Structure 1
Amino acid sequence: MSDHAVSGVPGGPVRESRDVADLMRWFGDAWVLPLLVGGTSLVIGILLIVWPNVTVTAVAVLFGVYLLIYGVFRLIESFAADEAGGTARVLLALLGVLSIVVGVLCLRNILQTVVLLALLLGLFWLVGGIIQVVAAILQRSRPHRGLTMVSGVLAVLAGVVVLSYPGISLLVLTVFLGIWLVVYGVLMILGAFRLRAAGRRSVEVTGGAAAAPAG
């Protein structure tokens, strides 16, 4: 049986090439999720900057909602990041779980003081930033690896600053949180567009290889 005949049967090389192309298109479309997360971060950050005279509850609710969305995104990313290896996937899943747990704590009524909120956010930034940096180091093939590492470093610095000043005022904490969310949102949006561009290039390469005539 000739190679041309084999390629025409279900499950042959042509079908496998199409499956690979479809898979790459899916990864190319995955840029929408980080774009939404980045956009949410940007909007909440702007709200906190232009509306700094808010209550502790309002700050906790806004940041808690963001952390829940961010945590779900990291969990999805941990399942999709097959090329990152087991360690990076575990770290991303851990970051997602940590984000969801802290988000739930922020939304609960136990956070009634600035000190508790600052402590919780500081610990999340510090631990989450370290996890993000290590995961970025392991994800060598990710298009937005550099931006992820930068955002992780910024989170670590933010955590150190907040934890170093336990008596921080609500106004300062709100503005600081707003600025961090704006910067992180911009980095997420840039990473989303880089992921989109990388996905399109991969689809073009895969599609070109599938369309090439057999030798």
Structure 2
Amino acid sequence: FQAYLGQDVRQLQSPQAWLSLPEAQLRAVTAGAVFHDDLGLEARRRELHYYPHQIWLHLMACQWLRIAQEEAFVGRCWEVNDPLGAHLITARLCQNLMHLSFMQERRYRPYPKWWGSAFQELKAASALSPHLVSALQAQSFQEQEAALGAAYEVVATAHNQLKLTPALPSRPTQYHSRPYQVIHGEVFALALKAEISDPELKAFKRNIGSINQFVDSTDVLSHALFCSEFKQIIS
């Protein structure tokens, strides 16, 4: 485990240590069956099954912020007659919504080529997938906004069902004075951050989240020792 994950899993005592572990590697060491275990492997796997509760809240807050930062850009792209830009932003939002669904169901996301297959195993997939596909295939702003709005409603409803925060509006509303319908991801982020009591997490000055929310370079995420250096900048 230490060679594969880049650090001693027996000493995951800080948020920084947990947040520097790539999800694909965590999924790899915790998935699958163990048929013989005389090394205490299963006990270690249980410890790594998913992030501790407080870190889970932090990750979802950071993920909602990623959505908040770009959810209005789709409409702006269409306003300046940039459908390609709108589709690029939509693809990013779809990816962020999928990652949020993995988090909400407390499942590590896999290596990129397995995202779609692993996503279909989630409870949210049957409701969310059609809207994501429609958003990616949309040929107009109205189609794209409607599909994204339906997708936002699915993940917002899932958030409320977790009962981690007071219930929040699950339907998109207008983005300030602009004619765009958004879910206002920052509202969900602030509500989740309000539930965090861990002093180290509360002291974080940046809303970076985990290494998977910070970088997407294969050369970084597949290099365990490099990932461990993320602890130095994460807070």
The TM-score bracket by the shorter chain reads: 0.3 to 0.5
TM-score by length of 1: 0.47
More helix by share: 1
TM-score by length of 2: 0.44
